[in-house]
A = this chain, B = another copy of it.
Amino acid sequence: MLIHELARQTGLTPATIRYYEHEGLLDKTHSYRAQNNYRHYTEAAVERLLLIKQGQAAGFTLAEMRELIDTWYTDALTLDDKRAIVLHKIAELERRIAELEAMRATLLAKLPLMGQVGAVT
């Protein structure tokens, strides 16, 4: 598929996809160039971009997502090391979930006080 179609399927823009490629988040397994120099994408590109998008929504930077994906493909780590890295990322997510829940609790706690003098700092 062409970049326009990939953009449609992922909810990104063609410019963002080119930017991600430039940042090393996509590689030759996701696209090839046709004779006219147009990028053609595989289904793997859709899944990779959706994974990156989900990571972004979860607060990971592009660099973090690239590192995470890279651990999958490196030969410099054992399978157990790779699993440990992913488990570490999961723990990070759980810490963040706890932070959001703390903020939620803070807002809930302030809710009944709203409007009172000095209730909100």
Q: Which of A2-10, A11-19, A32-40, A88-96 contacts B (4 or more CB under 8 A)?
A: A88-96
One complex includes copies of this chain to the number of: 2
Chain A contact patch, size range: 35 or more
Given contacts A58-B99, A121-B51, A89 and B72 within 8 Å (CB-CB)? no
A54 and B102 contacting across the interface, CB-CB below 8 Å: yes
- Which partner residue on chain B sits nearest A121 by CB separation? B47
CB A61 to nearest CB in B, in angstroms, measures: 13
Q: A58-B104, A83-B114 are in contact. List 7 more A-B contacts (CB 8 A).
A: A57-B96, A58-B100, A72-B114, A86-B107, A90-B107, A96-B100, A97-B100
A→B interface (CB under 8 Å): 44, 47-48, 51, 54-55, 57-60, 69, 72-73, 79, 82-83, 86-87, 89-90, 93-94, 96-97, 99-104, 106-108, 110-111, 114-115, 119-121
